[in-house]
């Protein structure tokens, strides 16, 4: 069962040292998240959209060296959901 606004999948591909995480991104902060991913060369793919929750699900690929940037993205999303981040 998938829950809205939750991380729904996490896969670690150890062979290539590439990690993969699926995360629901609220549309109002998608631009900011896209900039964060571009800044740190994180590859992604849109795998789902949810019009009711106003989110898209991204599959983000990252290496161990860029894991902290992935955590920054997760923190930003959680801060937005908790009302701690405002949109300019």
Task: For residue 85, name the pLDDT band (cuts at 50, 70, 90).
Answer: confident
User: How far, in Å, CA of 58 to CA of 45, rounded?
Assistant: 6
pLDDT at 18: 83
Residue 23 and residue 7 in contact, taking contact as beta carbons nearer than 8 Å: yes
User: How far, in Å, CA of 79 to CA of 84, rounded?
Assistant: 5
pLDDT at 10: 54
The helix/strand count (H/E) of the chain reads as 2, 4
Task: For residue 8, name the pLDDT band (cuts at 50, 70, 90).
Answer: very low
- Segments making up each domain of the chain, as ranges: 9-81
φ/ψ of 33, rounded to 5, equals: -65, -40
Domain 9-81 adopts which CATH fold?
A: Alpha-Beta Plaits (3.30.70)
Torsion sign (Cα): 53, 50, 9, 66: negative
């Amino acid at each position: 069962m998938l829950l809205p606004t939750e991380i729904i999948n996490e896969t670690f591909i150890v062979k290539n040292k590439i990690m993969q995480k699926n995360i629901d991104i609220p549309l109002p902060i998608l631009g900011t998240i896209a900039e964060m991913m571009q800044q740190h060369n994180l590859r992604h793919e849109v795998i789902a959209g949810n019009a009711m929750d106003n989110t898209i699900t991204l599959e983000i690929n990252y290496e161990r060296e860029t894991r902290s940037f992935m955590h920054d993205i997760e923190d930003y999303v959680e801060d937005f959901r908790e009302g701690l981040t405002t949109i300019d």
